[in-house]
Amino acid sequence: MAILGAGFMGAALTVPATDNGHTVALWGTHLDDHLIAAVRAGARHPRLGLMLPAGVTAYDSTELPRALAGADLMINAVTSEAAVGVIARAARRLAPGVPVLNVSKGLAQSRGRAVTLSDAIRETAKVEVVTVGGPSKAVELARRVRTAVVYASPRAAERRRIRGWLETDYYRVEESADQRGLELCSALKNAYAIAIGLCDGLVAAGRATAMYNTKSALYTEALREMARLGRAVGMRPATVYGLGGAGDLHVTGMAGRNRLFGELRGAGAPTAQVVATLRAREELTEGYAAIRWCWRFARERKVTDVPLLRALHRIVYGGHDVERELYTASR
């Protein structure tokens, strides 16, 4: 199988794949070339800090055709902003009938509107994908720490087939037909995790001694807003309160790049400085773009009762006061 994107999650997925007896072609974009070079040199993966399994062959950004040759499954693990283009480019080189699993979490544009990734991929690349959602920290997965995720697609046979190829005793997979609902939750949780980080930043800046109560209120409001926005795509209520909604929001708000983005902004750094700092550390934060995309999604569908999403957009893109906006949003 071929995994596109050699960052945290792309590299981590090589572990359950090879534990299931598959050989893996790990391809990196131009942003991953230094990661691929390290793996080829026999070093630890620079981000995971681990050696990749023996069944993995690494390919740099110029070698996409070689990476895809003979693949019986393609897994997309590049960022959501690049996912549609990369899948469209790669799909032309796949044999007919090869399934595609999409790990990216975010929204994209199609026909002038903000839509879920599967819809954008279907429109642009003419490809159907199975979507992965749920709480999955890459380093833990790579260390074989028990992880539970959701594979979503209206095509039950295809999601079950891919599940059979990748599931292990530590990488457990639930199935769902609610693909759009899962994708929307996955994008929103990245945005809302920044709100949790903002609280940590206010504490770090000395504007509060602790904000556990506020975090709990924001977490609850985030789930409410996920449910409200989800009605626009026919989301099933169980999706919001399952692994792909509450579960993924919980882990993302506790640790990770989106939480860190919020902490830095909450501590007083302007957004431009936060973005520059994280980019210098190669810490790409999907929640930053997700706030803009999800706010656009809400406005296009005339969903107005989203005070936390509105506050995040004002804080991150408008420079508004963090404490005032969060207190207003948490009611």
Residue 283 pLDDT class (50, 70, 90 cuts)? confident
CA distance 287 to 289: 5
Mean pLDDT of 19-41: 98
Mean pLDDT of 185-206: 98
Q: Is the pLDDT of residue 45 over 70?
A: yes
pLDDT in tens, 233-260: 999 999 999 999 999 999 999 999 999 9
Number of neighbouring beta carbons within 10 Å of residue 161: 13
Q: What is the pLDDT of residue 264?
A: 98
Please confirm, yes or no, whether 189 is among the known catalytic residues. Answer: yes
> How many residues in the chain?
331
Q: Is the pLDDT of residue 331 over 80?
A: no
Q: Are 140 and 113 in contact (CB under 8 A)?
A: no
To the nearest whole percent, how much of the chain has pLDDT over 90?
Answer: 96
Task: Give me the domains of the chain, ranges plus CATH numbers.
Answer: 2-177 (3.40.50.720), 186-329 (1.10.1040.10)
The distance from CA 115 to its chain's CA centroid, rounded to whole angstroms, is: 15
| Catalytic residue (one of 105, 126, 137, 189) | 189
What three-state secondary structure class fits 18? helix
* Segment holding 331, helix H or strand E: none
Question: What is the pTM assigned to this prediction?
Answer: 0.95
Q: Is the pLDDT of residue 330 over 90?
A: no
Q: Is the pLDDT of residue 27 over 70?
A: yes
Q: What is the pLDDT of residue 284?
A: 79
pLDDT in tens, 56-107: 999 999 999 999 999 999 999 999 999 999 999 999 999 999 999 999 999 9
What three-state secondary structure class fits 58? strand
Neighbouring residues of 159: CB distance < 8 A, sequence distance ≥ 6: 130, 151, 152, 153, 175
Q: Is the pLDDT of residue 26 over 70?
A: yes
Mean pLDDT of 288-305: 98
Q: Is the pLDDT of residue 180 over 80?
A: yes
pLDDT in tens, 98-137: 999 999 999 999 999 999 999 999 999 999 999 999 999 9
Q: What is the pLDDT of residue 304?
A: 96
Mean pLDDT of 27-45: 98
